[in-house]
Chains A and B, each alone.
Chain A
Amino acid sequence: GAGVSQSPSNKVTEKGKDVELRCDPISGHTALYWYRQRLGQGLEFLIYFQGNSAPDKSGLPSDRFSAERTGESVSTLTIQRTQQEDSAVYLCASSLARGTEENTEAFFGQGTRLTVV
């Protein structure tokens, strides 16, 4: 597709349930990032995938959060046993491999708005 695609765009779930969020990066982008944006706040880094390297999981807030990426394509972010504080917009971004100034731009998806009730 032309841009980064995320689904669903909105998700309402009950506390304690598991949710899975999907990100389709721009074709050919080897780097993929997940961020979380709580209401009225900036973006928090969650996890970063680069090609076949081990992901950088340093931003995941707890072991209830996990993410996978198959090769250089789709990524899923899973939140187990959701809590109300998990309510936020989850943004995915992708970019070309690092190395040149032209490759530095990260393109963002529209985000998934997660509401835990």
Chain B
Amino acid sequence: GEDVEQSLFLSVREGDSSVINCTYTDSSSTYLYWYKQEPGAGLQLLTYIFSNMDMKQDQRLTVLLNKKDKHLSLRIADTQTGDSAIYFCAESGSFDAGNMLTFGGGTRLMVKP
């Protein structure tokens, strides 16, 4: 079955860039997503990328997709303490799969002042 892997933890200093990495196994993935989960809150969709794209930029967020290596990354520029959260990578297959998401285990980002 599909598998999505992420490193567990990342610590950065405020103002630095953060890069969170994700690998996936399903070659038929159509969309890849980054979700943010803050303590006690639900999941918030940050951004997503279609599988025929290499890069997507949205303000401080840059998503890079290497489809050949099945590697996805999320770069947060000028990281702030408010960015401290757990970040989940997720993928969904074809539309026939109903956009069912397969999630990674999450990367806990800690931003030090």
Contacts and interface: CB of A to CB of B under 8 A. Distances in A.
Q: Are A and B part of the same complex?
A: yes
Chain B contact residues, majority secondary structure: strand
Contacts of A50: 98
Contact of B101 (A4, A43, A98, A99): A43
Contacts of A98: 95-96, 98-99
Interface of A: 4, 31, 33, 35, 41-45, 48, 50, 56, 91, 93, 95, 98-99, 101, 104-111
Interface of B: 4, 31, 35, 41-45, 48, 50, 88, 90, 92, 95-96, 98-106
15 contacts: A4-B42, A33-B101, A35-B103, A42-B4, A43-B43, A44-B103, A45-B101, A45-B102, A91-B42, A93-B101, A95-B99, A104-B31, A104-B92, A106-B99, A108-B43
